[in-house]
Amino acid sequence: MDRRTFLSSATLGAALVVVPLGTAAAASCREAAPVKSLAELQAAIDKAAAGAVITLKNGDYTVPTGKPITVKGRRGTEAQPITIVAESRGGVVLRGEQSFVFSSSSFITISGFSLRQSTTLDVPPDCSAIRLTRNDLQFADISELNWVMVRADDSKVDRNHFHGKTTQGIFLGIEGAGKDGMAQNVQVFRNYFSDHSFAGDNGGEPIRLGLSPRALTKAGAKVEYNLFERANGDPEAISIKSSGNFVRHNTIRDSKGGIVLRHGNGTRVEANYLLGGQEGVRIYGNDHVVVNNYVAGITGRGLVVGSGSERDHTPGEPDDTRRGNDAADRVLIANNTLLNNKSTLSGETNRPFEPHDCVIADNLLIGDTGDLVSMGNTVGFRWSGNIVFGAGTDGNAPAAGYRRVDPRLARGADGVSRLTASSPAIGAATLSPAPVTEDIDGQPRGSARDVGADEYSSAAPLLRPLTPADVGPAAP
């Protein structure tokens, strides 16, 4: 991966912020005075040109059935988007069946609204570069209602709070045109996903990136710096069902769901925290990279290398075949820390196709229960440089692929256990070339890399597990 394409915390905060409300910059824009009704808002949208900022006066509005706020044929530019914004963040509540409806528009920003609608907010494929930012979303609690569906290229969903659902249905879906298309280059960052308590076992994902018919389509989406808490609607908090995506620096805490590469190939899962929940990371499909992740206190499986009902998915295969699991092949699993999970590193034996040609290297596998490694049948796996420790038994990793030694971790104030100066993990990584150049803390790895997600340093971490103050409408 080209590290220059990676959006750091500072870059996200500086480069992608909307015009602050109540500032001179906002006052100088074309629509400086707030509009005071939905009719005035619609009239302002209908004539908006690039650079317009349309502000709706604070209030509680009910959008009439059949008369949504329509953004049609409006074209901003990258430098001068058309911005539709609440007078103050969260000060405008939109109720009713629909809020905004988009068509044939580009570079539109919707910011600062409290959305309380009863149907899906759809960003269709005839649009592009639609941005939803700093909104509070708590739609009607209707079973099977998916809240936001993004199908437009180059769109952004950032600094929103999705919360308060007890029924089946997803918070955010990303798809594309037709049956197998995917929106390209969608960015999802600094959002807060919380409090989904659906009691079923499927269909309540906070983020679903694709669907099985779209699995082989490369999307290039970036899911970064999002926080998930009490995300209990599905075993998959981040469900990947497309190819070529990036899932980085997210925190999933106290949640049923984990990160699942359910369908598709070539996704990079890097530097995520999964803390105190039920599911860790589960992998199906080919050519993924899973590095620098910290998985701790999981009551289920920490990291699973999946078996397949199919060897590989192929273009044109029947729908029922595509819905099956694709065995994990040529996956790199390196520099992860798996700590005190009920199950540490495991495979599966419930499907006929075993995973092939994966690399499992330079991971810290620490636990006090069961086998630390419990793989099913595998073919052509390469193991090196792993460290195991704890009361858990070694399991069935090949003897040459690991050593049992105390990694000498110390728990920090943020709850993360990191290497200490005397750790035998320091300088012990084996892979060449290096699969990572930074650790989970955002610190450089250097030439003599350490085992696990943390590179020893006496300096304070640059990045830590996210908290609610880091995400959502008030985030930096």
Residue 287 vs residues 61, 211, 240, 258: alpha-carbon distances, Å: 49, 19, 14, 20
Over pLDDT 90: what percentage of the chain? 89
Q: What is the pLDDT of residue 32?
A: 64
Are 221 and 187 spatial neighbours (Cβ–Cβ below 8 Å)?
yes
SS3 5: helix
pLDDT confidence of 277, banded at 50, 70, 90?
A: very high
Are 269 and 1 spatial neighbours (Cβ–Cβ below 8 Å)?
no
Q: What is the pLDDT of residue 17?
A: 35
Are 439 and 420 spatial neighbours (Cβ–Cβ below 8 Å)?
no
Report the distance separating Cα 55 and Cα 129, nearest Å.
20
Residue 470 has pLDDT above 50, yes or no: yes
Residue 153 has pLDDT above 80, yes or no: yes
Residue 78 has pLDDT above 50, yes or no: yes
Kindly tell me the sign of the dihedral angle through the C-alpha atoms of 137, 139, 145, 150.
Answer: negative
* Average pLDDT value for residue range 453-461: 97
Q: What is the pLDDT of residue 67?
A: 98
Instruction: Report strand pairing: 417-419 vs 409-411.
Output: antiparallel
Q: Where is average pLDDT lowest: 112-126, 216-230, 316-330, 387-401? A: 316-330
pLDDT confidence of 119, banded at 50, 70, 90?
A: very high
Structure-model confidence comparison of residues 286 and 22, the more confident one: 286
* Average pLDDT value for residue range 34-43: 98
Are 232 and 253 spatial neighbours (Cβ–Cβ below 8 Å)?
no
- The pTM for the full model equals 0.93
Residue 360 has pLDDT above 90, yes or no: yes
* Average pLDDT value for residue range 17-44: 64
Give the number of other Cβ atoms within 10 Å of residue 340's Cβ: 17
Bridge partners of 248? 224, 270
Residue 9 has pLDDT above 60, yes or no: no
Residue 23 has pLDDT above 50, yes or no: no
Q: Which amino acid is at 300?
A: G
Residue 84 has pLDDT above 90, yes or no: yes
Structure-model confidence comparison of residues 7 and 390, the more confident one: 390
Residue 3 has pLDDT above 80, yes or no: no
Q: What is the pLDDT of residue 18?
A: 37
Structure-model confidence comparison of residues 163 and 203, the more confident one: 163
How buried is residue 91: exposed, middle or buried, by Cβ count under 10 Å (0-12/13-18/19+)? Answer: middle
pLDDT confidence of 83, banded at 50, 70, 90?
A: very high
Q: What is the pLDDT of residue 199?
A: 84
Instruction: Report strand pairing: 207-210 vs 172-174.
Output: parallel
Over pLDDT 70: what percentage of the chain? 93
pLDDT confidence of 319, banded at 50, 70, 90?
A: confident
Q: Where is average pLDDT lowest: 48-62, 82-96, 113-127, 197-211? A: 197-211
Give the tens place of pLDDT for each residue, 320-357.
888 899 999 999 999 999 999 999 999 999 999 999 99
Report the distance separating Cα 174 and Cα 191, nearest Å.
15
* Average pLDDT value for residue range 382-388: 98
Give the number of other Cβ atoms within 10 Å of residue 32's Cβ: 11
